[in-house]
Amino acid sequence: MFEAYYKSPIGNLRIISNERDIIEIQFTKEFFKMQMIPVQIQNCITQLDEYFRSERKKFSVGVNPIGTEFQGKVWHELSKIPYGKTISYLEQAKQFSDEKAIRAIATANGQNPIPIIIPCHRVIGTNGKLTGYAGGLLKKQWLLEHEGALQQKTLFH
């Protein structure tokens, strides 16, 4: 396992990888300057920089999130939500042909180990309200505004 830290406009991120793929991104208050950053993490940092400068709308960095088979299916579907678009948890459940699975799907979204790259921030409540985000609702709102999915700009501190 390898790790490095990244200062993003919405706070510090701890990026964790195996030899090839990103396996986790965590929001953290910590920041450690790393002398040597593995190529797979450096590639991720480059793509995050491009995303935050509005130069990248789709990530191509290799990811390998660790979770159950069900979680993997949910996270795979999250990856299909286009930049600047949102869907509701109900719409996401309908993709699985099971509206009753809405809570299980929402739970899997909340356990997404690779936020931003696997864009769980693009899932909102059926009523259009922002709900649940591991990094907090202000970060979710900032990301959606950054992508143009929400109009009002939030000042993030």
- Prediction pTM value: 0.90
Given a cut of 70, the residues of the chain with pLDDT beneath it are 151-157
Question: What pLDDT score was predicted for residue 107?
Answer: 92
* Token pair listed for 7: 């200062």
pLDDT of residue 152: 57
Q: Which domains does the chain have, with CATH numbers?
A: 2-52 (no CATH), 69-146 (1.10.10.10)
pLDDT for 24: 97
Strand pairing class (123-124; 87-88): parallel
Report the candidate in 61, 78, 58 with the shortest Cα–Cα distance to residue 118: 78
**Positions marked active-site:** 120
Residue 135: C-alpha distances to residues 26, 60, 82, 112 (Å): 8, 22, 20, 11
Nearest to 138 by CA among 156, 118, 113: 156
Euclidean distance between CA atoms 81 and 150, whole angstroms: 15
User: What pLDDT score was predicted for residue 157?
Assistant: 42
